């Protein structure tokens, strides 16, 4: 269905992909993983012919109907739900050809061959679009009851992701290319998507950093290496990949250590042989040709061994030392101590205008709590956080922050970043640091060289997420309000962030749907349902 042949891509002098080869067939559900910036999105865009490779090719079966979910799909400012759902079915041209030739056939029986060819082509593409598909897709994705004139800009992050999925599924694809399809999705929607993918008869290539989702949805992993820019295939789900890759790394370390011992032994042997030849020369004179000839033979033997070692060290036979992965460093340790009562909500109602999303919410967050806020997309989670930080007025009730509470807010939409600023200037604006300290601090968040001077709007989604975390850490906040904090972060960065929160001495309230993250993070789970808030057991 899809064949990628020796694909390579560079931007200026920066290599992104090198000699990538793989196939996708019906029934394949492949997780495409790798660190931020390794080329995952670039690979999808090359497959969709939105970019041109430097070398290599992409072959799509003529019967393939590709559906591509872009990461962070943008719409016109005034676009409505109805506008966004006007998608062109790839079968439209085949349908038009078949219907035109049917009319021609009624007038000219000689068109039978052409008509049959058009019908065969349409059937190969899946036949006529089924009239019930639209209603089914919108219902399954929870969009059936959203008014068509609703502006896309007013939708929640999860609803926007559902809308992107709807645009893809309305065309009834048999080849899916999904770039971060789980971002912002609530738990019921994640479960639905996992179940749907398991039954999907076509092929799917899915970029995701959600470890539970990958475990439940894919049967193969493709890993893009940031250093070699090559792709490696692993059988099974994410857990199987992790076991295989860790075992490979352990074997490589063991082989590398044995190799280093052997190289050291060979160097010592060569040095001893050279010293033996020099010792004979020092202990003899030119009047003793026999011993001198022997010393020369010994020296030649040492040179031969030395050249053999040099050839080995330069050859591909040598086991390379495993590269240490450079991971984001997050340290929340230096935070001021707050009072025991961090946040108190009293009979709080939040929403937009006259539309209340939550009513009569009362809650007390204590120092050291790590609360996960869950609920369906559009239920009011982000609105609640915005009300707590004062970005939106409460419709009723009261929000009280405790003594010495310093709030750090990480927004879901990344709209708190000044698009015309840079990571360097953004950090200088919130923290009293000199130029050297700013660069060193940003280095912990994987901004190197001139990356800190790039305009924020040119950063990738993952880079923006890392920058927002950097700003949060730099401000020394002791109460973190996190709205989908790990969206767009790769798996190593998520792991580091989870470790940092474990050691964080302050308090955190996080809107999050990543089940792996919730399990390791939450001491309390707060669930929004029926316009209210209730506390769930964390067991």
| One domain for residues 400 and 503 | yes
Percent of the chain residues topping a pLDDT of 70: 95
| One domain for residues 166 and 304 | no
What pLDDT is attached to residue 26? Answer: 93
Alpha-carbon span 325 to 355, nearest angstrom: 48
pLDDT at 345 over 60: yes
Query: Can you give the pTM of this predicted structure?
Result: 0.67
Higher pLDDT, 110 or 193: 193
What pLDDT is attached to residue 4? Answer: 95
Domain boundary among 166, 199, 227: 227
What pLDDT is attached to residue 200? Answer: 92
Mean pLDDT for the chain overall: 85
Task: Please name the residues in contact with 90: beta carbons below 8 A apart, sequence gap of 6 or more.
Answer: 65, 66, 125, 171
Alpha-carbon span 225 to 325, nearest angstrom: 11
Whether residue 103 lies inside any domain: the answer is no
Whether residue 284 lies inside any domain: the answer is yes
Residue 451 tokens, joined: 């990356």
| One domain for residues 444 and 375 | yes
| One domain for residues 378 and 436 | yes
Q: Among the listed ranges 171-175, 200-204, 282-286, 418-422, which one has the minimum average pLDDT value?
A: 282-286
What is the pLDDT averaged over residues 197-222?
92
Whether residue 470 lies inside any domain: the answer is yes
pLDDT at 220 over 90: yes
43-73 tens-digit pLDDT:
999 999 999 999 999 999 888 889 999 987 7
CATH of the domain at 440: 3.40.50.300
Whether residue 327 lies inside any domain: the answer is no
Whether residue 524 lies inside any domain: the answer is yes
Whether residue 324 lies inside any domain: the answer is no
What pLDDT is attached to residue 18? Answer: 94
Residue 288 pLDDT grade (very low, low, confident, very high; cuts 50, 70, 90): confident
Higher pLDDT, 38 or 312: 38
Burial class (CB in 10 A: 0-12, 13-18, 19+), 11: exposed
What pLDDT is attached to residue 327? Answer: 63
Residue 482 tokens, joined: 């996190």
| One domain for residues 397 and 506 | yes
What is the pLDDT averaged over residues 329-355?
84
| One domain for residues 493 and 371 | yes
pLDDT at 290 over 90: no
Residue 401 pLDDT grade (very low, low, confident, very high; cuts 50, 70, 90): very high
| One domain for residues 28 and 69 | yes
Residue 80 DSSP code: B
Q: Among the listed ranges 78-82, 207-211, 533-537, which one has the minimum average pLDDT value?
A: 533-537
What pLDDT is attached to residue 431? Answer: 85
Residue 499 tokens, joined: 């470790």
379-397 tens-digit pLDDT:
889 999 999 999 999 999 9
| One domain for residues 282 and 410 | no
What pLDDT is attached to residue 202? Answer: 93
Higher pLDDT, 86 or 128: 86
| One domain for residues 191 and 284 | no
| One domain for residues 59 and 199 | yes
Whether residue 102 lies inside any domain: the answer is no
| One domain for residues 355 and 476 | yes
Provide the domain count of the chain. Answer: 3
What is the pLDDT averaged over residues 320-338?
69
What pLDDT is attached to residue 248? Answer: 80
Burial class (CB in 10 A: 0-12, 13-18, 19+), 450: exposed
Domain boundary among 197, 227, 257: 227
H or E element at residue 115: helix 112-124
Domain of residue 59: give its range: 2-89+129-227
412-452 tens-digit pLDDT:
777 778 888 999 999 998 888 888 888 888 888 888 878 88
pLDDT at 472 over 90: no
Alpha-carbon span 121 to 64, nearest angstrom: 11
pLDDT at 539 over 60: no
DSSP conformation letters of 296-332: HHHHHHHHHHHHHHHHHHHSTTSPPPPPPP-------
| One domain for residues 305 and 425 | no
Whether residue 319 lies inside any domain: the answer is no
What pLDDT is attached to residue 48? Answer: 93
Residue 98 tokens, joined: 């078949």
3-state secondary structure of 511: strand
């Amino acid at each position: 269905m899809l064949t990628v042949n020796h694909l390579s891509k560079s931007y200026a002098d920066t290599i992104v992909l090198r000699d990538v080869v793989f196939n996708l067939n019906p029934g394949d559900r492949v997780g495409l993983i790798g660190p931020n910036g390794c080329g995952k999105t670039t690979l999808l865009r090359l497959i969709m012919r939105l970019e041109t490779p430097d070398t290599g090719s992409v072959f799509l079966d003529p019967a393939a109907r590709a559906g591509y979910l872009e990461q962070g799909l943008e719409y016109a400012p005034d676009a409505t739900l109805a506008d966004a759902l006007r998608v062109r079915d790839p079968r439209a041209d085949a349908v038009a050809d078949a219907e035109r030739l049917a009319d021609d056939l009624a007038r000219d029986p000689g068109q039978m061959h052409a008509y049959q060819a058009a019908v065969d082509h349409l059937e190969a593409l899946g036949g006529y679009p089924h009239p019930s598909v639209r209603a089914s897709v919108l219902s399954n994705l929870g969009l059936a009851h959203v008014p068509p004139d609703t502006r896309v800009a007013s939708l929640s992050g999860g609803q926007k992701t559902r809308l992107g999925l709807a645009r893809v599924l309305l065309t009834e694809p048999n080849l899916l290319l999904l770039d971060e399809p789980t971002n912002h999705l609530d738990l019921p929607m994640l479960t639905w998507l996992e179940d749907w993918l398991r039954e999907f008869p076509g092929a799917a290539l899915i970029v995701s950093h959600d470890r539970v989702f990958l475990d439940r949805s894919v049967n193969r992993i493709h890993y893009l290496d940031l250093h070699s820019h090559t792709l490696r295939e692993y059988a099974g789900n994410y857990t199987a990949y992790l076991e295989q890759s860790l075992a490979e790394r352990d074997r490589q370390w063991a082989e590398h250590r044995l190799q280093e011992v052997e190289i050291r032994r060979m160097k010592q042997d060569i040095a001893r042989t050279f010293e033996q030849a020099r010792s004979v020369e020092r202990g003899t004179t030119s009047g003793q040709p026999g011993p001198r000839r022997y010393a020369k033979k010994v020296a030649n033997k040492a040179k031969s061994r030395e050249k053999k070692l040099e050839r080995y060290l330069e050859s591909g036979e040598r086991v390379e030392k495993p590269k240490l992965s450079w991971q984001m460093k997050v340290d929340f340790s230096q935070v001021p101590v707050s009072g025991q009562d961090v946040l108190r909500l009293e009979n709080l109602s939040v929403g937009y205008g006259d539309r209340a999303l939550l009513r009569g919410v009362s809650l007390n967050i204590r120092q050291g709590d790590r609360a996960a806020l869950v609920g369906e997309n559009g239920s009011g989670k982000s609105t609640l956080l915005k009300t707590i930080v004062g970005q939106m007025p409460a419709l009723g009730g009261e929000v009280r922050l405790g003594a010495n509470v310093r709030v750090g807010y990480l927004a879901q939409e990344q709209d708190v970043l000044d698009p015309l600023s840079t990571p360097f200037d953004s950090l200088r604006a919130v923290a009293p640091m000199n130029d050297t300290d700013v660069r060193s601090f940003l280095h912990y968040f994987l901004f190197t060289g001139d990356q800190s001077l790039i305009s924020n709007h040119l950063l990738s989604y993952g880079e923006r997420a890392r920058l927002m975390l950097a700003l949060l850490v730099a401000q020394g906040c002791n109460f973190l309000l996190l709205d989908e904090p790990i969206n767009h972060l790769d798996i190593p960065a998520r792991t580091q962030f989870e470790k940092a929160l474990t050691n964080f001495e302050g308090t955190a309230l996080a809107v999050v749907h990543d089940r792996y993250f919730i399990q390791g993070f939450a001491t309390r789970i707060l669930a929004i349902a029926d316009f209210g808030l209730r506390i769930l057991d964390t067991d």
